[in-house]
Amino acid sequence: MPSSPRTRQRGHIAMHRAHRFAALLVVASILAPAPLQAARDVPVVAAASDLQFALEVVAEAFTAETGQQVRLSFGSTGNLARQIRAGAPFEVFLSADEQFVLDLHRDGHTLDAGRLYAVGRLVIVRSGDSKLIADGSLADLAEALADGRVSRFAIANPEHAPYGMRAREALQQAGLWEAIQPRLVLGENVSQAAQFAVSGNADGGLVAWSLTFAPGFMDRADVALVPESMHAPLRQRMVRVKHAGAVADAFYEFVAGAAARDILARYGFVVPGDE
């Protein structure tokens, strides 16, 4: 299990401030640099949206230690992989599903097959005014669908977002995938799905546990871990793209190091060696 306070892992995990969290996501998306805007000497790092807050802390630690900077560009893993195939000037790619990295390597877009840097976890989130119960087994979600307590439920788009794929698997495992179709609200990535789930645009959702560790996540919402047996593992792999330079190499190694591992663990990730 991730090395975070045990009290956050028991049953329902109380968090802080839905609207502040939604605002943080909006500001982060506005400030996220477009790849083409990157200065030539500052590498652009493509990162899965579940890293929205954790990787910002990692990047700050990297700059503090080395004096070098990176630019972070967040999105769904599938969309970022597609941009890399199209020649986007990313130098490092941190995915939420290792298969996207392995496919890029197979097709000649990366220096090597990369390395595992974390394993993510899926959680169910209920918004403050929702009548849904945050039950990781999804048993209450089944009852809520039957008795009308849920009108909208958020997940990331399973066509290109790994957390959406795992949400779909969990819903299928619970026998709810067909029943929930009319009520699904799809986020372009898991960060947007989390925004929907806590801002009142949905009654709840299945999102990344790492996002619930953001400052001010909410004080009116509940979160519960979904059992890992309900979906395939979220094995997150990173890789250097073929034209990666020296600063990108240094950042790649930094993410694999002890300081970054500690930060990722604080945001709920299982890091290699703790599996």
Binding positions for molybdate: 77, 190
| Helices 18-31 + 190-198 axis angle, to 10 | 150
Alpha-carbon span 45 to 175, nearest angstrom: 38
The DSSP code sequence of 149-181 is --S-EEEE-TTT-HHHHHHHHHHHHTT-HHHHG
Binding positions: 77, 190
Q: Strand order of the sheet with strand 90-94?
A: 71-75, 44-48, 90-94, 234-240, 115-120
93 forms beta bridges with 46, 239
Alpha-carbon span 110 to 92, nearest angstrom: 9
Q: What DSSP character marks residue 65?
A: H
Using an 8 Å Cβ cutoff, are 137 and 272 in contact? no
Structure tokens at 270: 């299982």
Contacts of residue 167, defined as CB under 8 A and 6 or more positions apart, other chains included, come to 122, 155, 156, 158, 205, 206, 207, 231
State the maximum Cα–Cα separation within the chain, in Å, rounded to a whole number: 57
The DSSP code sequence of 196-244 is HHHTTSSSEEEEEGGGGGSTT--SS-EEEEPPGGGS--EEEEEEEBTT-
